[in-house]
Amino acid sequence: GQQLNQSPQSMFIQEGEDVSMNCTSSSIFNTWLWYKQDPGEGPVLLIALYKAGELTSNGRLTAQFGITRKDSFLNISASIPSDVGIYFCAGPVGTSYGKLTFGQGTILTVHP
């Protein structure tokens, strides 16, 4: 099946540092999504990528859709305490855009 391998599993950084996490798959994806989940809440969409090679920014966040369509990365620059949470990559299952498969998640801790 289509599985996403996300790394690292967790990160402990100082406020102000930059962060990078990535997602890979053995299958080709036509869309890559990055979500953030705060404790006790549902995931919130950060960035959506639709084209191979696409580089998209959302404030301090930047994500890229790999040219092979089998990987994506998310960068966070100048981290702040509210960046704490779990970050997930996700992609559509098969041809159904609605059904998503998620990576294992990256737990980010930011020390003030």
Partner 1 sequence: GAVVSQHPSWVICKSGTSVKIECRSLDFQATTMFWYRQFPKQSLMLMATSNEGSKATYEQGVEKDKFLINHASLTLSTLTVTSAHPEDSSFYICSARDLGSNQPQHFGDGTRLSIL
Given the DSSP bridges, would you call strands 61-65 and 71-76 parallel, antiparallel or unpaired? antiparallel
Residue 106 · residue 34 · CB < 8 Å: no
| Nearer to partner 1 among residue 14 and residue 95 (C-beta) | 95
Whole-number Å distance between alpha carbons of 16 and 112: 9
**In the numeric block, which tokens belong to residue 75?**
């960068």
| Nearer to partner 1 among residue 30 and residue 77 (C-beta) | 30
| Nearer to partner 1 among residue 15 and residue 38 (C-beta) | 38
Closest separation in Å from C-beta 42 to partner 1? 4
| Nearer to partner 1 among residue 24 and residue 101 (C-beta) | 101
Q: Which residues bind partner 1 (CB under 8 A)?
A: 31, 33, 35, 40-45, 48, 88, 93, 96-105, 107
Closest separation in Å from C-beta 28 to partner 1? 18
Residue 56 · residue 49 · CB < 8 Å: yes
List all residues 6 or more positions away from 3 whose beta carbon is below 8 Å from its beta carbon: 25, 26, 27, 101
Closest separation in Å from C-beta 45 to partner 1? 6
